[in-house]
Structure 1
Amino acid sequence: MIGRRSLLAAGAAAMAAPALAQPRPNELAPLALPVKQDDTVARGYRRDVMMRWGDRVTFDAPRWMPRTPDPDAAGAQFGWDARVVGIAVPQQPAADGIARAVLAVTHPTVDPAMAFPGGQDLPAAAAAMQGASLLNLEKQGGRWVVVDGGYQSRRLGGSTLCRLSGGAGVRGLLGLSGGCVTPWGTLLLAEGDPAPWQARLGGLDPAFADGGGFGFVAELNPFDPQSVPAKRRALGRLAHGDVAATLSRDGRAVVYMTDRRIGGFVFRFVSAGPAAGEDALETGRLFVARLEGDRLSWLPLPEGAPPLSGAQAAGGSPFDTPSGLGLDPMGPRLLLACHGSPARPSGHVLEFSADGGDDGAEGASARLLFAAGDPRGPQARYGGLGLPPGSAWPENPHTVAVDALGRAWIGTDRGGRIGPQAEGLYCCDLAGPARGVPVPIYGAPRGASVGGAALTPDGETLFTGIRHPGAEPGASFERPGTRWPEFQPGVPPRSVLAALVRVGGGPVGG
């Protein structure tokens, strides 16, 4: 794992990093996040429920029947879990002048204890409940909404037909975790560790038991509902946490990936040719990150070596469960959310600025944005004057996104474990006097985690996923920790796609 000395050195180098475009400071006020059955929203903001587990995604989806789950129905409905991974915007505006986009949400997990009556696993239904939802967005009356049964809305899951590099067919996307929208107009969806799903679904189909077709990054066109996801072998097979894509200065595709394990690696793929080609991710080179003090180097993997053994052979650095990735649209800056490890249980967020402003360069400068946890503890480290009095603090950062104003949005995930405060979505400036000071805008209900963030092109709506509410240790379908968001007797809690907006209008965060 990255040593504490390296983290401190990276933090000490904060003032020596190359200058980037100056972002706008956020205007959020201190906010406490008490543990409660309902959620918490910052003053001056409103939380709207856009989609819930079981709501229809495709136009022909049947009504949600949580006590009698059906695989065919679940395959057309919003999944059990929810993590926002990105918003794709059409390159050409619509002829009618209406702003439109496609929002991608993954459904990484399905907990049998919480998803099914009596806690008895139903593997076929679980395979349909996981995967991803692509949702049409429109701006109507000054407000972004999800279009019910939109043309490009679709569900991806265990029965989705895909292709592997080389043309081989494979059925199913399993354990999708992170994802991103690429500068060349496609959507990348990263499969996590396939082993739990192999064990769970092996009795349904020998292809699931084999597992050789899973653990990849899949690419598709989010605007074409007939687009077949292509699993890119060149990007490697591993238990992905997240993926982020950009361009090198000479126009090649650059894809960053995390290996979400304690002691996992951070990878970079650089395509052999320009990103404009349909199969640009079919050929290229894999690199692994090596972090030494305030410097990060990209080391090429041995030709033909599997990613994990190749990374170890190349001398890659193990990280503290590398999870979320976020690229700054204002400059060549990559943020990495490390979930934590036994040595540093609360996690931290690192920042890498590519040498010469080129994501295809051989190295980058490294800085610590903040070390998470109780500010009174020995390992926490925040910027400026520290956290404002009375405000919550992040633990176990899991997702990170950077908006067009140069501010990071960080979601936390303790896996349902109840702590001294609720899980939160935090905004953190990347420059100025409040750099490295995360301030919450939202607190999740009891047992829930925060799954990602994505802002609309105008910056006036922030979409986030509220994951598995009520799923604390010992909870069940019949006895959840909360029945949020409906609070109706007998209705289980539901993961939610939520929208955060300013009550008076304007950009989220100020």
Structure 2
Amino acid sequence: MIGRRALLAAGTAVLAAPALALDLGPLALPVKQDDTVAPGHRRDVLMRWGDRVTFDAPRWTPRTPDPDAVAAQFGWDARVLGIAVPQQPAADGVPRAILAVAHPDVDPAMAFPGGQDQPAAAAAMQGASLLNVERQAGRWVVVDGGYQNRRLGISTLCRVSGGGAVRGVLGIRGGCVTPWGTLLLAEGDPGFWQGRLGGLDPAIADGVGYGFVVELNPFDPQSVPVKRRALGRFAHGDVAAALSRDGRAVVYMTDRRAGGFLLRFVSAGPASADRALDAGTLFAARLEGGRLSWIPLPEGAPLPEAAQGAGGTTFDTPSGLGLDPMGPRLLLACHGSPARPSGHVIELSADGGDDGAAGAAARLLFAAGDPRGPQGRYGEAGLPPGSAWPENPDTVTVDARGRAWIGTDRLGRIGMRAEGLYACDLAGPGRGVPLPAYGAPRGASIGGAALTPDGETLFFGIRHPGAEPGANFDRPGTRWPEFEAGVPPRSVLAGLTRVGSGPVGG
């Protein structure tokens, strides 16, 4: 496991523009059936489980789910992956983009009446949604029935690089938009779904067509997703993409297990929209003190075994990845392990400002958990009195103002605080001090975040509200967001904005 004490001792300087002070103060995040929003901000519900994604999606009928119907609707779960902005502005001057949202899981107890699993419907509820978003009357909204709206799922035909085809994307847990204009989707452990869905299709039962990084053009609703064999096959947690100084594609990947690895792929040639990831070299991260080095792995070797054989460092459930758009800095959210149950966030700065370099400086951004105990450690100033603190960081996004947005996930466990979305400066006096901007309703967790180009709307996912231990479809922990009798709680794509105008967080 990672030596946190060594990271704390590392004083390596980090490339960073001076951060502006966050306009967020101490905020308690009480556990309740409703959510909590930081003062001066507003939360809007943009999409919910069952809302239509494609123009021909039928009305949501949660008590009688039809696989063909739910395959066109927003999925049961919600994890924001990234936002793709067109290179050329629209002729009418309206700012537009494509927002990618994953639907990683479907809990039968919460998704189906009586808790009786319906595998065909579950297979259709998972996958991903691509959504047209645009700025209307000063607000970013999802375009209902937008022509680029698309649902990806178990019936989506995919090509496998190097030859062959497979039907379906399965258990997408992470993703990102690449500098060369594509979208990457990271499939998780196919074993979770094999037993559940194997009776539907022998190809799912053997699982060999799943567990890949999938690439597609988000702006072309007819594009065929490609499963990139060169990036390896394993249980992904997240991916982040960059360019090396000489123009090669660089893809960082997490192996989301307790004792999992951080991996990197560097392409053999210059990045391009159609063949950036056809060939290249895989590396495993080795962390020693405040230094990280990239160890090349044998071509074609199975993962994650090859990373272990090469002496890669094991991490405390490496999960979310976030690249700083202002410089070669990567944040890694580690969910936690038995040794360090609350998790932490690590900051990596590539040598020479080059994501293709052989090494990076490493130091701890913060260690999550109760600041009064042995786990939590938050910058030089520490958390302000009365503020909630993060536990089990799972997703991380870095905005253009040099701030990290961290989402927590305790897997539905009810604790002293609600799950939260936290903002954290990466430089200045607030470095390493995460301040809460939002608290999720009871049983929910935070599913990733992405900011609009103007920084005035933060899209984020609110996952599985009411799904606490012992809860079910008919007796959830909350009925958020509708609070209507008989209507189950629904995962949500939300937008966080400042009251009035201005960038989120100040």
TM-score range, shorter chain: over 0.9
In structure 1, what residue type is equivalent to 2:4? L
**2:408 matches 1:412:** yes
Distance in 2 between the 1:49 and 1:377 partners? 36
Shift of 1:210: 1.0
Alignment of 1:325-344 (within 5 A): 325-344=321-340
**Alpha carbons 2:324, 2:402 under 8 Å: kept:** yes
Alignment of 1:141-220 (within 5 A): 141-220=137-216
Distance in 2 between the 1:434 and 1:75 partners? 44
Alignment of 1:486-505 (within 5 A): 486-505=482-501
Q: Which stretch of the first structure deviates more once superposed, 163-172 or 151-160? A: 163-172
Which residue is 1:105 aligned to?
101
Q: Residue 10 of structure 1: which of 7, 12, 20 is its match?
A: 7
Q: CA offsets per residue over residues 211-247 of structure 1, 9 Å max, x none? A: 0000000000000000111000000001000000000
**Alpha carbons 2:350, 2:357 under 8 Å: kept:** yes
Which residue is 1:68 aligned to?
64
In structure 2, what residue type is equivalent to 1:508? V
Which residue is 1:83 aligned to?
79
Alignment of 1:239-258 (within 5 A): 239-258=235-254
SS at match of 1:474: coil
TM-score by length of 1: 0.98
Q: Residue 110 of structure 2: which of 114, 126, 137 is its match?
A: 114
Q: Residue 291 of structure 1: which of 274, 278, 287 is its match?
A: 287
Q: CA offsets per residue over residues 78-135 of structure 1, 9 Å max, x none? A: 0000000100000000011110000000000000000000001000000000000000
Which residue is 2:447 aligned to?
451
Shift of 1:283: 0.2
Q: CA offsets per residue over residues 139-174 of structure 1, 9 Å max, x none? A: 011110100000100000111110111231100100
Which residue is 1:362 aligned to?
358
Which residue is 2:460 aligned to?
464
Distance in 1 between the 2:405 and 2:393 partners? 10
Distance in 1 between the 2:182 and 2:301 partners? 27
Which residue is 1:271 aligned to?
267
Q: Residue 424 of structure 1: which of 416, 420, 423 is its match?
A: 420
Q: Residue 139 of structure 1: which of 135, 139, 148 is its match?
A: 135
Which residue is 1:313 aligned to?
309
**Alpha carbons 2:27, 2:436 under 8 Å: kept:** yes
Which residue is 1:350 aligned to?
346
Q: CA offsets per residue over residues 241-291 of structure 1, 9 Å max, x none? A: 000000000000000000000000000000000002511101000000000
In structure 2, what residue type is equivalent to 1:190? A
In structure 1, what residue type is equivalent to 2:9? A
Shift of 1:23: 2.5
Q: Residue 398 of structure 1: which of 362, 380, 394 is its match?
A: 394
Distance in 2 between the 1:483 and 1:18 partners? 44
Distance in 2 between the 1:139 and 1:407 partners? 23
**Alpha carbons 1:237, 1:307 under 8 Å: kept:** yes
SS at match of 2:371: coil
Distance in 1 between the 2:449 and 2:8 partners? 25
**2:31 matches 1:35:** yes
SS at match of 1:286: strand
**Alpha carbons 1:424, 1:450 under 8 Å: kept:** yes
Q: Residue 130 of structure 1: which of 120, 126, 129 is its match?
A: 126
Distance in 2 between the 1:432 and 1:248 partners? 27
Distance change in 2, residues 1:138/1:19 (3 Å): closer
Distance in 2 between the 1:203 and 1:486 partners? 35
Distance in 2 between the 1:346 and 1:448 partners? 17
**Alpha carbons 2:29, 2:418 under 8 Å: kept:** yes
**Alpha carbons 2:461, 2:492 under 8 Å: kept:** yes
Distance in 2 between the 1:94 and 1:423 partners? 38
Q: Which stretch of the first structure deviates more once superposed, 213-222 or 373-382? A: 373-382
**Alpha carbons 1:57, 1:78 under 8 Å: kept:** yes
> What is the number of residues matched between the two proteins?
506
In structure 1, what residue type is equivalent to 2:482? E
Distance in 2 between the 1:339 and 1:107 partners? 19
SS at match of 1:310: helix
Shift of 1:10: 1.4
**Alpha carbons 2:15, 2:327 under 8 Å: kept:** no
**Alpha carbons 1:399, 1:452 under 8 Å: kept:** yes
**Alpha carbons 2:351, 2:357 under 8 Å: kept:** yes
Backbone CA RMSD of aligned residues = 0.7
Distance in 2 between the 1:282 and 1:121 partners? 38
SS at match of 2:10: helix
Distance change in 2, residues 1:133/1:277 (3 Å): closer
**Alpha carbons 1:301, 1:307 under 8 Å: kept:** no
Which residue is 1:303 aligned to?
299
Q: CA offsets per residue over residues 332-388 of structure 1, 9 Å max, x none? A: 100000000000000000000000000000000000000000111112111021000
SS at match of 1:155: strand
Unmatched runs of 5 consecutive residues or more in structure 1:
none
In structure 1, what residue type is equivalent to 2:404? A
Distance in 2 between the 1:486 and 1:88 partners? 30
In structure 2, what residue type is equivalent to 1:7? R
Distance in 2 between the 1:42 and 1:20 partners? 27
Distance in 2 between the 1:373 and 1:97 partners? 46
Distance in 1 between the 2:222 and 2:160 partners? 17
Q: Which stretch of the first structure deviates more once superposed, 377-386 or 485-494? A: 377-386
Shift of 1:308: 1.0
SS at match of 2:378: coil
**Alpha carbons 2:316, 2:334 under 8 Å: kept:** yes
Which residue is 1:436 aligned to?
432
SS at match of 1:298: strand
Distance in 1 between the 2:492 and 2:327 partners? 32
In structure 2, what residue type is equivalent to 1:152? Q
Q: Which stretch of the first structure deviates more once superposed, 379-388 or 324-333? A: 379-388
